[in-house]
Structure 1
Amino acid sequence: MNGLLQTALEAATAFLLLCGAVFCLLGGVGLVRFPDTVTRLQAAAKAQNLGLLLILIGAALRVPLPYAGLLLLIAVFQLTTVPVLGQIVGRIAYRTGAVERHTLTVDELAERLAPPDAPDAGEGDDGGGRGRGT
């Protein structure tokens, strides 16, 4: 029974490592092939993150328990830093004009980052004309 369990563990490890490597490869291909910054961020963040997590899980199955905890810590850092960095890079790309805005389906930053318009007619005016220095 021990030999069968060992074989199943090795097969699961191999499967996870290969799947992780495929996701990392596809993320790298997407990073090179996708046309703009936003889609490249998707490839870099999603596929690479999933690929690394699969590799870490596969490696955790084969190492002693204290090292598996270290691999878990690496996974937690990966899951917390990648979305934050993706958000920062995406916002910088948006503000510098590296994003083709007409290709976006939803543009939630357009209103937030739009230059302030001229004040409304009622703003700064209390209705008595005193707001304009009269």
Structure 2
Amino acid sequence: MAAGVGALRFPDVLTRLHAATKPQVLGLAVVLLAITLRVPAWGVVSTVVLIMTFQLLTQPMTAHMLGRAAYRTDALRRDLLIEDDLGRDIAEHEEEDDGAHEDPSR
């Protein structure tokens, strides 16, 4: 429910993405805990640990990549950014690329 409310009420892609990913991981953890408490067998526990580990490793990376894609396609409100580290890094990288492609005879 928190993810749904956040997706509807937050103003841009990055805040909606944050609202969608955090409750999803917490909800999965609670469901997996309930499964473990209901069926406390070693096979179930090991499977639950693998699922949660995989989720904790992949969910932040997925959110990060979606956020970068939204940034590069201008699908977010830059006025809401507190600090634009990615914009600064992209500008520095483009300057380096421009300097490397200049004509050395000049």
| CA-CA distance at 1:131 after TM superposition | 6.0
Match of 1:61 in 2: 37
State the TM-score, normalizing by the size of structure 2.
Answer: 0.80
| CA-CA distance at 1:56 after TM superposition | 1.1
Q: Among 52, 68, 72, which residue is 1:91 paired with? A: 68
State the TM-score, normalizing by the size of structure 1.
Answer: 0.65
Of Structure 1 and Structure 2, the greater helix share is in 2
Q: Deviations over 1:22-75 (max 9, x none)?
A: xxx212221232221000111111121112112211221111311122111111
Q: How many residues align?
A: 99
Q: Among 26, 44, 63, which residue is 1:50 paired with? A: 26
Q: Distance in 2 between matches of 1:52 and 1:27?
A: 13
- After the TM superposition, which segments of 4 or more aligned residues of structure 1 sit over 2 Å from their partners? 114-119
Higher RCO (C-alpha under 8 Å, 6+ residues apart):
2
| Percentage identity across paired residues of the two chains | 42
| CA-CA distance at 1:96 after TM superposition | 0.3
Greater shift in the superposed pair: 108-117 or 60-69 = 108-117
Larger radius of gyration: 1
| CA-CA distance at 1:108 after TM superposition | 0.7
- AA paired with 1:68? V
The 5-angstrom pairing of residues 1-134 of structure 1 reads 25-65=1-41, 66-114=43-91, 115-116=94-95, 132=106
In angstroms, what is the RMSD of aligned CA positions? 2.1
Q: Distance in 2 between matches of 1:131 and 1:111?
A: 30
